Amino acid sequence: MKNIFKFVLMLAVFQLIGTNTKAQSVPDSTMQQIKDFRAFYETLGKVYPPDSTVTVNETTISGVKSYWFNQDLLNQGEIIVYLHGGVYTYGNFNTYRAMLTHLAKSFDSSILYIEYSLSPEHPYPTANNEIFKVYKALQKKYKNHKITVMGDSAGGGLAVALIKDAQKANLSMPASLALISPWIDLKCANDSYETKQELDPILNKGFLYSHALMYSSNNIKSADPSELKFKKFPPVFLLVGTDEVLNDDARNFYAYIDPIQEKSEFKEYDGQKHVWLFSHIDSKESVEAIKDIKQFIFSN
């Protein structure tokens, strides 16, 4: 729990931009706060050690830096693409390395982590375009591989947007998606932003909405995954804690997708906060979630 308390303290100190500030004109003082918060966020990746048995290799795909976990297992014909969270503004390879080594070990599969560009220096749609380019390249190079997409928080929203981009380009969709605590509604309009606030020590509506404005250059509707409409969608597993403001993002998206895709699944994890695997990889609920994800993605 120590890292959660550190996160709360940083949020209390970190007062972000006003709602009328455009991403292109973020003040120097705010950019310094962002850089400081990025440095802090990176330290959360050291809460537990990585699995030393998992190999990690840096690569560049279509001009986008990425990292292979268990690249030697590519001959198994499975690729899991991972899109990290961090409200489109924070997070990097060092932040997520430990968690992804444990996922790669548990799944016994290759994982590709994409180091997409961050806001506000690179607002929407830069990250979306980079992720799409990597996905397109994977489809071309690994034609006979089964590709799954995982994402947490903002990475969940990016995964949803990737499906729309793939459909527009007439590319094959991923075999399935697994989204952990996905942030899908950039308008922050779902009820749980209010009803779950007292239970959530990590996120709050103001923090999320200010970053949505920054990411979208004050045009949230254009960048908002919840505004996307689908007639078809791959099997998707939505995992969320009972104690987080993003609870309804997962719940409402499931309600929307379930009539379209009968293999959709939604599961709440009792008492869990935002992306609980990131904080405690070996907790009972994290072990359960990893088992659930593995069963889902390898059955679709």
Amino acid letter for position 147: I
**pLDDT digits over 77-86, tens only?**
999 999 999 9
Give pLDDT, residue 28: 86
pLDDT at 3 (0 to 100)? 56
180: left (phi over 0), alpha (psi -120 to 50) or beta: beta
Give residue-wise pLDDT tens across range 153-177.
Answer: 999 999 999 999 999 999 999 999 9
How many structural domains compose the chain?
Answer: 1
C-alpha to C-alpha distance for 117 and 264, rounded to whole angstroms? 30
Q: Output the pLDDT for position 27.
A: 85
- Residues of the chain predicted below pLDDT 50: 1, 5, 9, 12-13, 15, 17-23
Question: Model pTM greater than 0.85?
Answer: yes
User: In sequence order, what are the beta bridge partners of 67?
Assistant: 58, 113
Looking at residue 53, what is its pLDDT? 98
Instruction: With CA atoms as reference, report the closest residue to 157 among 95, 57, 86.
Output: 86
Half-sphere exposure of 94 (CA within 13 A, CB side): 9
* Domain housing 51: 2-297
Residue of 238, 247, 251 whose CA lies nearest to 273: 247
Burial-class residue 173 by CB neighbours within 10 Å (0-12, 13-18, 19+): middle
Specify whether the CB–CB gap between 263 and 254 falls below 8 A: no
CB 149 within 8 A of CB 76: no
CATH number of the domain enclosing 80: 3.40.50.1820
**191 φ, ψ (degrees, to nearest 5):** -60, -35
Are 264 and 80 contacting, i.e. CB atoms less than 8 angstroms apart?
no
Structure tokens at 43: 């330290």
d(C-alpha 292, C-alpha 106), whole Å: 11
